[in-house]
Structures are given as C-alpha cells and as structure tokens.
Structure 1
Amino acid sequence: MRHRIDLRADPVDVARPGSTATGLTMVRKFKTFLQSDAGAVTVDWVVLTASVVAMAAISFFEIRDNADNMDNAAGDRLGQEITVLYPAD
C-alpha cells in the first residue's frame, strides 16, 4: 500500500487573519525555525574563518613590530661594537 502525502492547506493556515489560529500557526512556524539546524555548518565556517583571519592579522602586526625593535637593537649593538673595534683617532 502506497502512502500519499496530503498537499492541501492545513485548516489552521486558512483561518481568518487576526484569529487565534493564525497566531498558533506563527508560533508553530517559529518553533520549527528554531529547531532547524540547516545552515548551522555555514555559520560555523564563517565564524571559524573570521577568527583565523583576525588571529593572522594580530600575529602579523605583533611580528612586524617586534622585528622592527629587534632590527633597531641589532643595529645599535653593531654600531657600539664598531666604535670599540675601530676607535676614532
């Protein structure tokens, strides 16, 4: 025996606007929306990708600033060594 799906409108859906039945339909649809997890994986990937990009940007700026500081410190130390090794007469 084959089962048929009834595609006719639910009697609650065709209730008069403003009636309690229409409100119940909206509540039912809202509950269905909250229980649905379609698109949840997409949201997870968007959040994950945004956090990876943010961490990469923060890391880039921290590494750049520290590299500049290290470069300046190395240059200053080399300048001191040059003056010790080759003093001005």
Structure 2
Amino acid sequence: MQPPTAFPLPVTPAHNNKSAKMIKKAHAFINDEEGAVTVDWVVLTAAIIIVTISAYLAIQDGSNEMADAVGVFLIETDHDQLRNPNQ
C-alpha cells in the first residue's frame, strides 16, 4: 500500500484569476506608502510630546528650587530693611 499523497489544487482559469488578483493586491499593499506616512506622523508626534514633557520637568525642578530660595530669603531677611534700604 502506498502512502497517501497530497492532492494539488486543480489548475483552472478561475483559480489562476484569483491568484493573480491576490498577487496584485499584495503588491499594491506593499507599495502603498499611506500607512508609512501615518507611522511617521505618530513617531514625530510622540517625539514632540516626550521633548515637551522633558522640558516641563526640567523647568519645574528649577522653578521649585528658585521659589524655595526666595521663600527662605524672605523669611530670613529683615522686612524693615527691605522696605527702607537707605536707612
């Protein structure tokens, strides 16, 4: 007894026509660049957001330190001397 063999698909004009359409669609999908442009915009937008958040955090740290320094200065300084510096 011989082992069973795989039956090949029948080669008919209708089958070839479907394959040709599928190949054309695959080539059209591969050559389509609209998705690539969308990906470029998403990456660019993400980069802008990351840079903006980084700048905000850097500025926030610096401004908090400056506010603390001003607060300490105002607490430790004689207010009468600040109001009348020439005396």
Tell me if TM exceeds 0.5: yes
* 1:83 shift after superposition: 4.7
* 1:71 shift after superposition: 0.7
- The TM-score normalised by the length of structure 1 is 0.55
Q: Give the superposed CA RMSD.
A: 2.5
1:79 maps to 71
* 1:79 shift after superposition: 2.8
Out of 23, 27, 45, the residue aligned to residue 15 of structure 2 is 23
Higher RCO by CA contacts (8 Å cutoff, separation 6 or greater): 1
5 Å-filtered alignment, 1:50-69, equals: 50-69=42-61
Taking every aligned residue pair, what percent have the same amino acid on both sides? Answer: 12
Letter in 1 for 2:55: I
State the structure with more CA Rg.
Answer: 2
| More helix as a share of residues | 2
2:27 maps to 35
2:40 maps to 48
Letter in 2 for 1:54: A
Letter in 2 for 1:71: S
Structure 2 unaligned segments of length 5 or more: list them: 1-10, 80-87
Structure 1 unaligned segments of length 5 or more: list them: 1-18
- The TM-score normalised by the length of structure 2 is 0.56
